[in-house]
């Protein structure tokens, strides 16, 4: 795999955005588990994933790009999950993320794209 030096920051931002999306998904999933079972371990995992997302955003020099990639990944994963499982249960998470991603493009479009 031949990576050029000028492409490394772009790959870093994409990787941090993907990790941020996984952290947000983990946060939501463990929060829903905690809400159902009231198990303190699930709440601790929820807080841990939330802190991991915060660290991913803070480590990136282009935070808007990482936020956009995270929101976009959540929307794509949510749509694919809705198609595969044939349910709209993820709609309360997909719609706000899609709206925030759109607003982020409208607000900081040149910095992101």
- pLDDT tens sequence across 18-53: 888 889 888 888 988 898 899 999 999 999 999 998
Which residues fall within 8 angstroms of residue 57, CB to CB, at 6 or more apart? Answer: 16, 20, 63, 66, 67, 70
What local confidence, expressed as pLDDT, does residue 3 receive?
Answer: 64
Least confident piece of the model among 21-25, 53-57, 109-113: 109-113
Please write the tens of the pLDDT for every residue from 66-98: 888 888 888 988 898 899 989 888 888 899 999
Residues for the chain: how many in total?
113
Give the predicted TM-score (pTM) of the model. 0.73
pLDDT of residue 112: 74
Residue 99 banded pLDDT, cuts 50, 70, 90: very high
In our burial notation (b when 16+ CB lie closer than 10 A, e otherwise), range 36-65 reads eeeeeebbebbeebbebbeebbeebebbbb
């Amino acid at each position: 795999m031949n990576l050029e030096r000028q492409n490394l920051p772009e790959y870093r931002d994409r990787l941090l955005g993907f990790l941020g999306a996984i952290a947000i998904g983990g946060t939501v999933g463990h929060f829903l588990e905690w809400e159902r079972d009231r198990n303190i371990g699930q709440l601790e995992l929820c807080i841990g994933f939330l802190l991991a997302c915060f660290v991913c955003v803070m480590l990136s020099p282009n935070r808007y790009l990482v936020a956009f990639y995270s929101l976009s990944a959540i929307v794509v994963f949510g749509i694919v999950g809705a198609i595969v499982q044939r349910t709209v249960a993820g709609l309360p998470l997909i719609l706000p993320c899609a709206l925030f991603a759109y607003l982020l493009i409208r607000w900081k479009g040149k910095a992101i794209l």
